[in-house]
Structure 1
Amino acid sequence: MKKRVEVAAGVITRPDGSFLLGQRAPDTFYPGYWEFPGGKVEAGETAEQALVRELDEELGIRVTCIRPWITREHRYEHAHVRLHFFEVTAWDGEINDHVHSALSWEHAGWLGVGPMLPANGPILKALHLPRWMGITHAVDIGTKVQLARLDAALERGLRLVQVREPGMPRDELASFAGAVIRRAREYRALVVINQDSGLAHELGADGVHLPAAELGRTTARPAFEWVGASCHCRAELERAAGLGLDYALLGAVRPTLTHPHRETLGWHAFAELVRDLPIPVLALGGLVEADMEPARSAGAHGIAGIRGVWLQS
């Protein structure tokens, strides 16, 4: 049995959303393959410390903003590796590569280089997941108001919408969800339907979102491009990851109008729950746009909101 090797990898991003990839040199395993920069965690180092050191050695930059993200394991022929991915959004110095054959700035939606190192491939889809999810509540505010707020949010940059309307009659829900999908398509935004896989198939939605109870009953990943789940504990998060889902929602971080008496997590507990998970997690519960920075610093991919996301709409 191969010993597990701990590796730190950096998703170095620019404001336009592009990220840096390096091509492995001819004298390494998988020569010519592309990867996220980083390297082995040495004895006495944390993964974060290792990445800061590696990026200094490999690229000549000094990291000034680093956030924990996701952790994935992969078994190569030569090693069993656990890769701790961090997002790096600020640094000092000019990038000057010392170990790769080439460097390239890429976008998740239109990768121009390849092949990717197998362990790094799944990261590309996670990078394609938008940072904001808007969760509809037309039952509370009316479909006309909700669609108007959706239009405004899409114009402001919202690119991920969950249609969640408990209690809405199905024919009315189908009409409303169809209107959401048509609007979202104009902006290339993703739409997932809460729980109703049949309706999601019928309307051509991008995916389905599983409530926690449905997640507990699910034994195989539903056949959609995008599948996520609502979670409230580590066991549910691990179940979502085990099913190969694309993301999870975790909350509530703060008190909400939807569940005013539910015990809240706070950022420290949130960070502990999402530590070393292999899928991105969106924070949920009483959050607004200003919470994006503390959310990502706690290991969240981004934020989901039932009300906060529409506040500026």
Structure 2
Amino acid sequence: MTIPTITVAAAVILRPDGRFLLASRPADKPYPGYWEFPGGKIEADESAYQALIRELDEELGIQVTHATPWLTRRFDYSKLRVVLSFFRVSAWQGEPHPREGQTLSWQAADDIRVTPLLPANTPIIQALTLPPLLGITQAGDDVGGFLPKLDHALTQGMKLIQVREKQLAGPALTEFARTVVSRAHSAHARVVINADIALAQQIQADGVQLTAAQLAATDTRPDLPLVGASCHDAAELDLAEQLGCDYALLSPVLPTASHPGAPTLGWEKFASLISNRGIPVYALGGLAGSDLELAQRHGAHGIALLRGAWQ
């Protein structure tokens, strides 16, 4: 029996403080009282973006002035399959107010105060806990000189760090990674360890960043709260989704100083590869902090930086 499918445009309406808007479903709709992201069904003659604009006007009385594509999630209810195209809405005109009998509430991803949530929205809440910037360590041969840069980045609000130091191994790597975790956790930031699952578990890091080779060789998600994947093409992004990774890094977007002349994706191919993905994707390779808005216009969750994260 074929399950009927509907497609929906959904909005993550974001305030500057990071809070987003949830709405409770009215009594005359399925799942009454459940909380969800605003939005609605995409009509036959509409694009997802057009449906988003219309729905937010009809539901909330606001006119969207800036929205970027984000995630596409599929969820099967007992008699219906829903495909949700999520947009992040960061600018609008008017004050959101309920026009269809809803109740509205601004929420923070790490402190949801309303319940129950529609089941399809739980992964979206989890994705919203990921910050737009991921910093990749660049200690090199000067670990002592790197740590003040780390501390400065943490005071400036960095919340997600990947420890990747190819020149370190054994006790030296363990000591460095443990130091990064300690300092990051003191600043309420999270740390993933590149490739080394056992080390991540040993030092109580928050997660691991799987290499493309690891991704191809495993069919079981590592037993860690946060799992990322390093990807370079559609096949690897598919594997990251199938494994249940929390996010992916896709590279290289632009030319890099470390690999001059190497092939790059460019923004159009990057956007094509991550279109309709169900997990957040960070852009990596040849980027600066000023590229964040450009990356998000092409569907990225955010950007990952090496040297640029510590300047």
Q: Same fold (TM over 0.5)?
A: yes
CA contact (8 A) 1:58 1:98 kept: yes
After TM superposition, list the pairs within 5 Å mapping 1:120-139 onto structure 2: 120-139=121-140
After TM superposition, list the pairs within 5 Å mapping 1:270-309 onto structure 2: 270-309=270-309
SS in structure 2 opposite 1:28? coil
The answer to whether 1:76 aligns with 2:93 is no
Alignment deviations for residues 192-249 of structure 1 (CA, whole Å, 9 cap, x no partner): 0001111101100000000111111111111111000100001111110111100000
The answer to whether 1:147 aligns with 2:158 is no
Who is 2:224 aligned against? 224
Alignment deviations for residues 133-155 of structure 1 (CA, whole Å, 9 cap, x no partner): 1101222x511122111111111
TM-aligned CA deviation for residue 288 of structure 1: 1.1
TM-aligned CA deviation for residue 287 of structure 1: 0.9
Who is 1:98 aligned against? 99
Alignment deviations for residues 10-49 of structure 1 (CA, whole Å, 9 cap, x no partner): 0000000000000011111111100000000001111111
Q: Distance in 1 between matches of 2:239 and 2:157?
A: 31
Q: Distance in 1 between matches of 2:297 and 2:115?
A: 30
Q: Distance in 1 between matches of 2:284 and 2:179?
A: 25
Aligned-residue Cα RMSD (Å) equals: 1.0
Alignment deviations for residues 103-129 of structure 1 (CA, whole Å, 9 cap, x no partner): 000000000001110111110000001
Who is 2:16 aligned against? 15
Who is 1:162 aligned against? 162
Q: Distance in 2 between matches of 1:224 and 1:161?
A: 15
The answer to whether 1:25 aligns with 2:26 is yes
Q: Distance in 2 between matches of 1:112 and 1:72?
A: 23
Q: Distance in 1 between matches of 2:195 and 2:66?
A: 37
* 1:99–1:260 CA distance, 2 compared to 1 (3 A): same
The answer to whether 1:3 aligns with 2:7 is no
Provide TM-score, normalisation by structure 2.
0.98
Gaps of 5+ in 2: none
Q: Distance in 1 between matches of 2:257 and 2:181?
A: 26
CA contact (8 A) 1:286 1:308 kept: no
Provide TM-score, normalisation by structure 1.
0.97
Letter in 2 for 1:6: T
- Identity fraction in percent: 52
CA contact (8 A) 2:247 2:282 kept: yes
The answer to whether 1:193 aligns with 2:193 is yes
TM-aligned CA deviation for residue 100 of structure 1: 4.2
Please identify, of 90-99 and 289-298, the stretch whose mean Cα deviation from structure 2 is larger: 90-99
Please identify, of 120-129 and 99-108, the stretch whose mean Cα deviation from structure 2 is larger: 99-108
Q: Distance in 2 between matches of 1:124 and 1:96?
A: 22
Please identify, of 98-107 and 170-179, the stretch whose mean Cα deviation from structure 2 is larger: 98-107
- 4+ aligned runs moved over 4 Å, structure 1: none
Q: Distance in 1 between matches of 2:50 and 2:102?
A: 25
Alignment deviations for residues 167-203 of structure 1 (CA, whole Å, 9 cap, x no partner): 3121100000011011101111000000111110110
CA contact (8 A) 2:97 2:104 kept: no
Who is 2:57 aligned against? 56
SS in structure 1 opposite 2:112? coil
Who is 2:37 aligned against? 36
Q: Distance in 2 between matches of 1:257 and 1:196?
A: 26
CA contact (8 A) 2:253 2:264 kept: yes
